[in-house]
Chain A
Amino acid sequence: MAYSDSERDGFRLSQLIYDSRYRAITIQAVTLALVVAGIFWLIMNARNNLAALGLTPSLDFLSNPAGYDIAFYLIPYDSQMSHGRAAFVGILNTLLVASLGCVTATIVGVLVGVLRLSNNWVVSRLMAVYVEGFRNVPLVLWILLFFAVLSESTPAPRAFKPDENGVSQASMYLSDSFAFTNRGVYTPAPVWSDGSGWLVAVFILSIIGAIYYRRYARKLLFDTGRLLPMAWPALLILVVPALLAYFVLGRPVTLDYPTLGGFNFKGGLNIPNSLLALWLALTVYTGAFIAEIVRAGVLSVSNGQTEAAFALGLRPNRTMSLVVLPQAMRVIIPPLISQFLNLTKNSSLAIAVSYPDVRATLGGITLNQTGRALECMLLLGLFYLILSLAISLVMNIVNNRMKLRER
Chain B
Amino acid sequence: MSLRARFRVAHPGFTLDVDLRLPARGVTALFGASGSGKTTLLRCMAGLDIPPGGFLQVGNDTWQDGAFALPAHRRAVGMVFQDAALFPHLSVRDNLLFGLKRVPAAEQRVSLDEAVELLGIGHLLARGPEHLSGGEKQRVAIARALAVSPRLLLLDEPLAALDVKRKREILPYLERLHDALAIPVVYVTHAMEEVARLADHLVVLEQGRVQASGPLGSVLARLDLPLQGDDDAGVVIDAAITERDTRWHLARAAFAGGALWVRDGGRDTGQRVRLRILARDVSLALAPHADSSILNVLPGMVDEVVAGDHPAVTLVRVSAGGVPLLARVTAKSADALGLAPGREVWLQVKSAAVLE
**B is a partner of A:** no
- Give residues in B with beta carbon < 8 Å to A: none
- Give residues in A with beta carbon < 8 Å to B: none
